[in-house]
Chain A
Amino acid sequence: MDTVIEQKLKVTEPLHLKCGNVLKTYELAYETYGQLNTKKDNAVLICHALSGNHHVAGFHEGDNKPGWWDNMIGSGKPINTDKLFVVCMNNLGGCHGTTGPVSINKETGSEFGFDFPIVTVQDWVRTQKVLMDALEISKWQFVIGGSLGGMQAFQWTLDYPEYVSNSIIIAAAPKLTAQNIAFNEVARQAIMGDPDWCNGNYLKSKKIPKRGLALARMLGHITYLSDKSMAKKFGRDLKEKKFNFNFDVEFQIESYLRYQGEKFVDSFDANTYLLMTKALDYYDPFNEVDFEKKIATSKSKYLLLSFTSDWRFPPSRSEDIVKTLINHNKNVSYACINSDGGHDAFLMKNDNYFEVMRNFIENNIDD
């Protein structure tokens, strides 16, 4: 496969965010895969989750690791780039190229940091529409996302019903539960409680809240795996095959979590993490005042997928969405995939999961 390169779109049209703030200008980083046809109607939008970014497939020059969903997207894969033109964008407030807390605020000349406004799923969908218009795409054949990405895939059908033919919502939920919000709050407190967070202005102070961000990631990571998958992968395995009776890393799972935390700190911004968890907490489309009006206008076909061992967004949460869509007479299909992979199962190869994706996509491609 050819190497992929990041592209940028500079937007000068002001963006009025749901929180009331306005971004006068901003930049969107994105990547594309496959060819846009002459009618510009074979496009697919991939929406990323909490810690994802726009590098969803293929290899960057010199990299030996592909994008985060490369098993799903490419030539001959379920999201088939032989037929489809795939677009993925780094969401606003992100830290991988799109304007976010690490970007320079032109009005002050220094990084936004903690002053970056709160962003929502609806804001992301709006900026994805800005990118769509810039690329002159007439309609998404599919908008697809897992977890927080699935929420965007759903929101598209509410906010831009004329522009989506199919929405694929994987391992998602219509809103967070108290338990979900509780996990997010502990993650935020880990970051904000780190002295190096410096009230959010760590970039100015030339510091990074490494401990806090790593802790947030470790906590998150536990909720993305299942008890069974952790037992299978680590069990009670020890690094040195004996107890040392101290507080150093002894069990393999401790070592793994620390590694995940440390790795994350090198590639992710703490303030972005705070923003992403807030976007999750706020999302609750069924209880928006205009939900009934919006869902009535949706012409999209829906596919929902869940995984048996996912306890972050268990199958019952996807089923809440399915139920609502059925009650509104929408074309919807749903599959619950048997997997030990926990919430992260949506990123893993699984025959049944991939067949469901492939069959739905192939039968609904409008050539």
Chain B
Amino acid sequence: MIKIRSTKVIGLLLVMVMLLSLVAGCGGGDSKTTTVEEIKIGNIIPLSGSAAPLGKIGQEARDMAVEEINAAGGIKSMGGAQIKMLYADSKGDPATGVSEAERLITLEEVALLTGTYQSGVAMPSTEVAERYGIPFVVPVPSEDAITERGFKNVFRLAEKTSWRNRDQVTFIKEMAEKFNTPVKTVALIYENTAWGQGAVRAWEKYIPEAGLEIVLKEPYPSNSSDLTPVVLKAKNLNPDIIMMVSYVSDAALLTNTFAEHKVMPKAYIGTSGGFADPAYFELTGDNCEYYFDIATWEPDVNRPFSADVNKAFKEKYGYSMNAEAVKAYTAMYVIADALERAGSTDPEALRKALSETNITEGPSQMYASEVVFDETGQMVNAPLVISQMRKVDGKMERVSVWPEEEARPGMEIVWPYPGVGK
């Protein structure tokens, strides 16, 4: 009898807690801040699930930028208003992204939204913002379609996926000529989500255009337990170039397995993402030496502010930034700039200010010499840089090698791939 009663009580308590929290949840939203001293910016990022580490570094980069902006006197045209970040977890799930966008817009009444890591979350949540007429700054997702839907309120700081693939192919052609190593065949190995499939479409356009032949098109599930079969398949075909689109776990598995089976193409080229993840070095050790990767930013890239900001970040959080973090960081400065010029949090004024963005100085220099959006909201000249994983003073580092004017001085490109530990 006592047992039954205790379970009854627990059940009752649970229900009470549920109802109470529901009521509290409804009540909490009404306490909206009408003071101008605070500008709320909503940010949707994955804080749980497999992309959680990327969400975390994005959050840290934004926090740092916002602290700097606020410390420097906030938004001066609005009486030194401080920016306040509101973070929401998308779990990497489109429906959660939508519901969080709804919440941030209608409940928290944020001035503007930013964030999302996965293109799959960016697509529907930007649509919510568009419907409410709230500007949405997208720093990271690269799927081409995001800015190709005729939306007025979406501004993308990132490059399009296809631009990366275009530059990779240009790079291959240039290297083949420079080092006089004829390159004919390319193997494409990519994770089988929206990102990989989008990249392949771009590759299929640019690679034949450059007179190269695709000999292998191999999608694999990103949570594969074993990628050896894929590696063996590539080894069999012996392609000149192996290009990959991977998240960090599978990038590491591929790299280690390629080393294990001593596959020797002329070059391995990654497409950011997993290859640019700070964990990649720890997971692969020396196996990734001489791999190439394309990204929008590198710690050693020869741009103003780059070294200083990264140093500050490293001191604050203990590790280096990555390209995604830089974009998130820059995005906050772009937003602050737009707020400054708009002089209010009125969405239309803010949208107009964003569309007229033309920044040619300040910390956003670490990302691009000029930040300008075209009429679709796409950042016009998202710069790309190719780096090579190299051992410098006994430690693996990403060394910017291309384009030459942004390359690290004194480092020569190693081409063709010499093999692990050579």
A and B found bound together: no
Please list the residues of chain B having a beta carbon within 8 angstroms of any beta carbon in chain A.
none
